[in-house]
A and B are shown apart, each in its own frame.
Chain A
């Protein structure tokens, strides 16, 4: 039904696809070092499909940090997916089972790009999500065999993504309410980053949405 928009989504995701390939390979290498095994590394990318949490879990295991610490760190990082998922709750079509499956395509990038037109679009989210999923899982598999492809930091990929989110944030800032929300959310995040465990500041920033209740 929405296949042409999904194709648009895949096309919209293409410029982003290099990063998950490189990061996926780095994760694959790290995960094997951490004792997850090739199959475990690929299984984690296929089920968790969230870079920062996977890196956190693998680094903790790699440095001998224990199973509980790895789980807690990864889940705190992924807790942001609750607010992200709530924001796009209404766009998924079909049965509950289908929504459960397709909601797994929500990652920061697919979520952010799908809201580009001012309201969230299922086709874009699904298209970008499918593309990034394939590249992420494929990159992980590649990394477990050949190791690092290229250091993502050497080509500045880590600066490209916050810049992308900034570009996607910009159109919202024309609304005063959204501008105020963004400022409060950014300030909460900045204030908590030096103290709170990774992932917590983003979740706490969702408190800024209370501004939405003001008239």
Chain B
């Protein structure tokens, strides 16, 4: 029965990922839709940040991730390169876990 899970999740995820490029890819979007799509990136990025920082299983979890991301935010503020931001966040979270 696990193959049913693998097949269904795989097939539907392929459709999810293909939905934009396959269904919309050919045509120019109407201006109102284009205006929506334009702010999709900041909306989704903000949602990903929140989910991955404090998300749990139907609960908010405030743990070492939050401290790591806060340190990462300071690095962002100081215009550090992406890799530095990631290393700072990971290091802070890892160190707090260590002690």
- Using a CB–CB cutoff of 8 Å, the interface residues on chain A facing chain B are 15-16, 34-37, 40, 43-44, 47-50, 53-54, 57, 61, 67, 70-71, 74-75, 78-92, 96, 99-100, 102-104, 106, 108, 112, 115, 120, 153-170, 172-173, 177-179, 181-186, 188-190, 193-198, 201-202, 205-206, 208-213
Contact = CB atoms under 8 A, between A and B. Distances in A.
At the interface, is chain B mostly helix, strand, loop or mixed?
helix
Q: How many B residues are at the interface, by size bracket?
A: 35 or more
Contacts of A37: 2
Which 4 A/B pairs are nearest by Cβ-Cβ distance? A159-B68, A163-B72, A47-B10, A89-B20
Nearest to A96: B22
Given A106-B17, A159-B92, A166 B69 contact: yes
Nearest to B81: A167
A163 B44 contact: no
Given A80-B44, A168-B45, A205-B44, A162 B39 contact: no
A160 B89 CA distance: 5
B47 A189 contact: yes
Contacts of B25: 89-90, 92, 96, 99
Given A36-B2, A164-B85, A159 B72 contact: yes
Given A86-B37, A103-B22, A155-B94, A205 B14 contact: no
Contact of A15 (B3, B56, B75, B82): B82
A104 B1 CA distance: 25
B74 to A, nearest CB: 10
Interface in B3-58: 3-6, 8-14, 16-26, 29, 32, 35-58
